[in-house]
A and B are shown apart, each in its own frame.
Chain A
Amino acid sequence: MTTNVIGKPITRVDGRDKVTGRARYAAEFNQPDQAYAVIVNATVGLGRITAIDDAAVAKMQGVISVLSHLNAPKLPYRPHKGSIDPQAGERLHVLQDDAVRFHGQPVALVVADSLDHAERAAAALRIIYEARRPVVDISDPDAQPILPEVSEDHTRGDAEAAFANAPVKLTATYDIARENHNPMEPHATIATWQGEKLTIWSKSQYVVNEQAEIAAIFGIPAENVHVICPFIGGAFGTSLRTWSHVTLAAMAARVTQRPVKLVLTRKQMFFATGHRPRTLQQVSLGAMHDGKLTSLIHEGTGETSRYEQFVEALVTSSSYMVSCPNVTTRYRLTPLDTGTPVYMRGPGEASGVFALESALDELSYALDIDPIELRRRNEPEIDEGQNKPFSSRPLMTCYEVGAERFGWSQRKPQPRSMRDGRLLIGIGAASATYPAYQAPSSARVRLLADGTAEVEVAASDMGPGTYTSMTQVAAETLGLPFDKVRFSLGRSDFPPAPSHGGSWTMASVGSAIRAACIAVLEEAGKRPAGERPLEAIASTERDTDVAGRFSMHAFGAVFAEVAIDPDVGTIRVRKALGVYGAGRIINPLLARSQCSGGMIGGMGMALMERTVLDARDGRPVNAHMADYLMPVNLDIPDIEVQFVDEVDPHVNPLGVKGLGEIALVGMAPAIANAVFHATGKRIRRLPILLEDMLEI
């Protein structure tokens, strides 16, 4: 019997718990006799601590402990690199020495019997520094790019020579601001020790890695660490890694022998919990007059810290997005006196695709060819970078569906040719892409006597609806009604899952659940009818043979209409459409929600988001929700999301490609291209601000 649960627009199983407050987030797992920790952050951008005057603070009301490098326990910090940790360099060792590597680095911790007391003591703690001027700007003459240890340049043909000989050429540079994730829920950890066993309730997109990392830092067996995170109030990548505040909470709990709660402030979330790195890119395109590309050179540099090499796929998509015989991509890093960046929704691709899709749009005007037509003329038949076929590539279908839906044919080709009253109207489009990954995962399924089933995986749900969609996969596979299946996640003692990122949760965790469900049904077939409970655990990973034969990516076409006030320069997105080919859609309601959220993130990237560092001391100056702008309801227009029917038998047994990242990719270049169409002004720096429009 099939219930056909997959593909149904089922509302969130955890929706009621979330809106009634029953869903418990990390900071809500308060423990008896809990103490409160507050981090003291470095107020200089580089240097060392020469003195800490904690005598007065230690005597303040309620203060239990003041920890710094002077008295903090020396932690083993055994080698450990999870899949999401930078493979080159070494993580920050918190409170282990006197060095200040970046502004806002945690340099002390105050533990007190109440949050008020801890905050007051933290504010009163005097720390003396020997400060030097940090280098925090990637374009600073003192900032030197390096070749990353883990990254390969791509070369096919001779892009430089082909560029020199191209009849039509274009070279442009792009500058994308640093961004912070700014989820609603702050980072939070509550830690408690029972002897040598540590339990932490912690906001994490990767509970099994948090378990392994904390075990390595404290030099204890992983089975002694238990991480619990049933709910996440948004993360966008910032909770992939186990940052220093988790270590500090566990350290404080051990020193004080009490449960300790540590919640970061909004301002602290701009310091040491990662960010989308600022990037500088240059794209050179050479083309024939008919639009056929003859050369593509895409070079990009991202910022990283001095102590770790954070790499992302900044220029990678240029190797497969267009057909071109001569392609070179180069990726470099610029170490700065800053904390290590981390993946932020659509990492790499969101920034790199902005450059490529802006350049293609610019080329289309130089050639007087419709921007979508230009992409069609350069649509590859195979992945020319890897020289193998795509498992599926619905990009042109996405453009066709989108162009029809968005009224592309009504668009007048000339820039600055469309108006609505006084307002300049522009319509732009851009491609989106993101790899269809699958990582090893496992899952446990239990069939119970009452006819229900339980499914458990150490997965996460930061908002896409993992609870709901995984329940659908299990119900479908088991042939049970949706409400007879209960799915649990967010515990490190559940069967391990990969990080909740990279758009691979459904491909990875869903595949494992499916396999475990099939296994338990097989087991049931061998047993006397009705024997319960029955349990099965399955582990899955990508079929390496198939992966070797195909290039696997999701694709999309994104459209934007902007209205620009020619007098005062304000830019408003009036309409947006994303059309995606992302394989099978498990739940169209959740999928649309996830995509519109990603598109709004892309609007933020295009028009608002930037973390401004003060060059004098590296401080993030706008570390405040009133000053770090993100779209609010009034900025968010009519957003439409569509999925093209796509059956990709190669990516994984479920046929899913993932949606989280691709939904942000492509939105920013679609907007920038629309801004050009409206005004005739090409802006190659994000975010595009109204001040950029004032010379029009």
Chain B
Amino acid sequence: MLPFQITKVRSVQDALQSAAVGGRYIAGGTTLIDLMRDEVERPDRLIDINALPFKQIRAEGSDLVIGALARMSEVAAHPDTLRLHPVIAESLIEGASPQLRNMASMGGNLLQRVRCPYFRMLDAACNKRTPGSGCSAIDGLNVGHAILGTSDHCVATHPSDVAVALVALDAKMRVWGPQGERTFPVEQLFRLPGDTPHLEHTLLPGELIIEIRVPGLSYSRRARYLKVRDRASYEFALIAAAAVLDLEGGVIRQVRLAVGGAGTRPWRLRAVEQELTGKPFERSVLEAAARTALEGARPLSGNHYKVELLPRTIVRALEMAGEIA
């Protein structure tokens, strides 16, 4: 690990001023410290934002508001989460390990970096880590990589579980920065790799995530997060799906769907949602619609199975949501 300075800030003003000089915000540090140890990340300055007052989790009407510094485990266990958006709790519990969930903040979770093994190896080509060096994964180990939203420059998936649920639920995020405050959909945080895979998100320099607001949804209790993987815990998703279902009389009135492990960012499936709306809640219907998710899919040498697994996971997540009374 390279030497670095760390500054603890106690107000947003301090944080923004501190960031103006340069440096990286650190909260739980579960991604950043790991990558710094491997010298993949080499910040010379860290700004410790843990003292900032953004830990609160609360209900505002039927909206769930989550402070950016709330820990994953706190959000997962909070009564308002369980009441208003149980799928957020489920996606959090499926992520990482208890130790990591106790440390990792919600803001940091959204900004966590990819798990592509080549990204973590300094002696391997990686456009995300070293722009222009090439992508080792395209012709290498790519079992866990994306089939949607990839480019010739990067094929890594976004690893967050809760981001998938948040994107399905149309969550918004509030950020403060040198230019003031702004609010935008969580979905818009994530960039596609294109030919600039080193640019992962749309935050402006110095911007700080303050909170995440998940709008209330009348049918939010009929929702499931299904994470499919070889190990029962502590493994990133091969494919995951968040499904939120509004059923009446065996007919799908509305549905929200997003998937993880499939795309280079949390992947909302609006075409599948549209296809399902107004249709009977039957397996054959779900299966036909789920295949729409594969539009534009580009499987790699090692992940053809995802072409099969993605629609199956979608169908199964929808069925699981439908089983909720």
A123 to B230, Cβ gap below 8 A? no
B117 at the A interface (CB under 8 A): yes
Q: Which residues of A contact B316 (CB under 8 A)?
A: 565, 567-568
Q: In chain A, what residue has the closest Cβ to B231?
A: A629
Q: Which of A621, A631, A632 has the most CB of B within 10 A?
A: A621
For A631, give its contact among B226, B231, B309, B312 (CB under 8 Å). B231
A96-126 interface with B by 8 A CB criterion:
116, 119-120, 123
CB < 8 Å neighbour of B1 from A119, A568, A612, A632: A119
Q: How far is the CA of A76 from the CA of B120 in the complex (A)?
A: 38
Which of these, B3, B123, B143, B312, contacts A567 with CB under 8 Å?
Answer: B312
A614 to B142, CA, bound (A): 11
B234 near A632: Cβ-Cβ < 8 Å: yes
Decide if A190 is an interface residue (CB 8 Å cutoff).
no
Is B233 in contact with A621, judged by CB distance below 8 angstroms? no
**A410 at the A/B interface (Cβ < 8 Å)?**
no
Assess the A123–B226 pair: CB atoms within 8 A: no
> When the two chains form their complex, are residues A570 and B228 in contact, meaning their CB atoms are under 8 A apart?
yes
Inter-subunit contact A624/B305 (CB<8 Å) = no
Question: Quick one: CB contact mask for B103-131 with A, threshold 8 Å, 1 for yes?
Answer: 00000000000010110111110000000
Pair B309/A626 contact, Cβ less than 8 Å: no
A619 in contact with B226 given A123-B39, A572-B232 (CB within 8 Å):
no
Is B58 interfacial (CB-CB < 8 Å)? no
Report if A401 contacts B (CB, 8 A).
no
- Smallest CB separation, A43 vs chain B (Å): 4
Chain B residues numbered 269-325 whose CB sits less than 8 Å from any CB in chain A: 305, 308-309, 312-313, 315-316
Does B140 count as interface, using CB distance less than 8 angstroms?
Answer: yes
A225 within 8 A of B: no
Residues of B within 8 A of A572 (CB): 232
What residues of chain A lie closer than 8 Å to B233, measured between beta carbons?
632-635
User: Which residues of the other chain, A, contact B117 by a CB distance below 8 angstroms?
Assistant: 621-622, 624, 627
- Contact (Cβ within 8 A) A689 B230: yes
Residues of chain A from 537 to 584 with CB closer than 8 A to chain B in the complex: 565, 567-572
**Complex Cα–Cα for A362 and B241 (A):** 36
Residue contact A116 to B228, C-beta cutoff 8 Å: no
Residues of A within 8 A of B309 (CB): 568-569, 690-691, 694
Among B121, B140, B235, point to the contact of A629 (Cβ < 8 A).
Answer: B235
Q: Is A621 touching B118 in the complex (CB atoms < 8 A)?
A: yes
B232 touches A632 (CB 8 A): yes
Most buried by B among A43, A120, A616, A690: A690
Q: How far is the CB of B228 from chain A (nearest CB, A)?
A: 5
B120 adjacent to A690 (CB under 8 Å): no
| Given A568-B309, A568-B313, A624-B117, A616:B139 Cβ within 8 A | yes
A626 and B159 alpha carbons, distance in the complex (Å) = 12
A616 to B123, CA, bound (A): 13
Instruction: Determine the distance from Cα of A632 to Cα of B235 in the docked complex, in whole angstroms.
Output: 10
Interface SS majority for chain A: loop
Known: A120-B2, A123-B39, A567-B316. A690 touches B121 (CB 8 A): no
**Smallest distance from the beta carbon of A138 to chain B beta carbons, Å?**
17
User: What residues of chain A lie closer than 8 Å to B124, measured between beta carbons?
Assistant: 619
Within 8 Å of chain A (Cβ to Cβ): is B92?
Answer: no
With A614-B141, A694-B309, A694-B312 known as contacts, the answer to whether A632 contacts B231 (CB < 8 A) is yes
Closest chain A CB from B243 CB (angstroms): 13
Separation in Å of the A506 CB from the closest CB of chain B? Answer: 33
Q: Are B231 and A621 in contact (CB under 8 A)?
A: no
CA distance A614 to B141 in the complex (A): 7
Task: Compute how far the CA of A691 lies from the CA of B228 in the bound complex, rounded to whole angstroms.
Answer: 11
* Contact indicator A608/B123 (Cβ below 8 Å): no
B8 within 8 Å of A by Cβ? Answer: no
Q: Which size bracket describes the interface of A in this complex?
A: 35 or more
Interface band, chain B: 35 or more
Q: Which of B226, B228, B232, B238 contacts A635 (CB 8 A)?
A: B232
Q: Which of A116, A567, A635 contacts B231 (CB 8 A)?
A: A635
Is B229 among interface residues, defined by CB-CB distance under 8 A? Answer: yes
Closest CB-CB distance, A443 to chain B, in whole Å? 42
B291 CB to closest chain A CB (Å) equals 14
Shortest Cβ gap from A179 to chain B (Å):
15
**Given A567-B316, A616-B139, A690-B238: A634 in contact with B115 (beta carbons within 8 A):** no
Report whether B231 and A123 are in contact in the complex, using a CB–CB cutoff of 8 Å: no
* Contact in complex: A568, B312 (CB < 8 Å): yes
In the complex, are the beta carbons of A123 and B234 less than 8 A apart? no
Q: Is the CB of B141 within 8 A of A608?
A: no
Partner of B141, one of A622, A632, A633: A622
Closest B residue to A120 using CB positions? B2
> Given A572-B232, A635-B231, are A694 and B308 also a contact pair (CB < 8 Å)?
yes
Over the window 1-32 of chain B, the binary record of Cβ atoms lying under 8 Å from chain A Cβ atoms (1 yes, 0 no) is: 11100000000000000000000000000000
| A634 / chain B contacts, CB cutoff of 8 Å | 232-233
Contact with B along A32-53 (1 / 0, CB 8 A): 0000000000010000000000
Chain B residues within an 8 Å CB radius of A116: 1, 3
Alpha-carbon distance between A635 and B117 when the two chains are bound, in angstroms? 24
Contacts of A569 in B (CB 8 A): 228, 309, 312
- Report B233-260 CB contacts with A as 1/0, cut-off 8 Å: 1111011000000000000000000000
Q: Which residues of A contact B120 (CB under 8 A)?
A: 624
Contacts of B226 in A (CB 8 A): 568
Q: Which of B197-246 contact A (CB under 8 A)?
A: 226, 228-236, 238-239
A671–B224 Cα distance when bound, in Å, is 30
Alpha-carbon separation in the docked complex, A626 to B114 (Å) = 13
Chain A residue contacts of B141, Cβ below 8 A: 612, 614, 621-622
Q: Which residues of B contact A632 (CB under 8 A)?
A: 231-234
Interface centre among A568, A626, A627, by most B CB within 10 Å?
Answer: A568
Contact in complex: A608, B234 (CB < 8 Å)? no
Q: How far is the CA of A567 from the CA of B320 in the complex (A)?
A: 12
Q: Which residues of A contact B315 (CB under 8 A)?
A: 567
Q: Does A228 contact B (CB under 8 A)?
A: no
Assembly CA distance A529 to B94 (angstroms): 68
Any chain B CB within 8 A of the CB of A585? no
A607 within 8 A of partner (CB): yes
Q: Which of A600-647 contact B (CB under 8 A)?
A: 607-608, 612, 614, 616, 619, 621-622, 624, 626-627, 629, 631-635
Q: State A633–B120 Cα separation when bound (angstroms).
A: 27
Chain B, Cβ-Cβ closest to A631: B231
Complex CA gap A120/B2 in Å reads 7
Which A residues are in CB contact (< 8 Å) with B234? 626, 632
In the assembled complex, the CB of A468 is this many whole angstroms from the nearest CB of chain B, namely 30
Complex alpha-carbon distance, A570 and B231, angstroms: 9
User: Residue among A627, A687, A695 with the most chain B CB within 10 A?
Assistant: A627
- Residues of chain B within 8 A (CB-CB) of A635 are 231-233
Residues 117 to 149 of chain A near chain B (Cβ within 8 Å) = 119-120, 123
Across the interface, A568 reaches (CB within 8 A) one of B115, B139, B228, namely B228
> Digit string of A670-696 for contact with B (CB within 8 Å is 1, else 0)?
000000000000000001011100110
Asked if A690 meets B228 with Cβ closer than 8 Å, knowing A119-B1, A123-B122, A612-B141, the reply is yes
From B115, B136, B305, contact of A626 by CB (8 A)? B115
* Contact residues in A for B236 (Cβ distance below 8 Å): 626
Contact A616 B232, beta carbon cutoff 8 Å: no
- From the candidates B1, B39, B305, name the one contacting A694 in the complex (CB within 8 A): B305
Q: Identify the B interface with A (CB < 8 A).
A: 1-3, 39, 115, 117-118, 120-124, 136, 139-141, 143, 226, 228-236, 238-239, 305, 308-309, 312-313, 315-316
28 A/B residue pairs, CB under 8 Å, sorted by A? A43-B123, A116-B1, A120-B1, A567-B312, A567-B315, A568-B309, A568-B312, A568-B316, A570-B230, A572-B232, A607-B230, A608-B230, A612-B141, A612-B143, A614-B136, A621-B118, A621-B140, A622-B141, A624-B117, A624-B120, A626-B115, A626-B235, A629-B231, A632-B231, A632-B233, A635-B231, A690-B228, A691-B238
Q: Known pairs A619-B124, A631-B231. 6 more at Cβ < 8 A?
A: A568-B309, A572-B232, A607-B230, A608-B230, A621-B141, A635-B233
Counting from the closest, the 6 A-B pairs by CB-CB distance are A691-B305, A634-B232, A43-B123, A634-B233, A621-B141, A568-B228
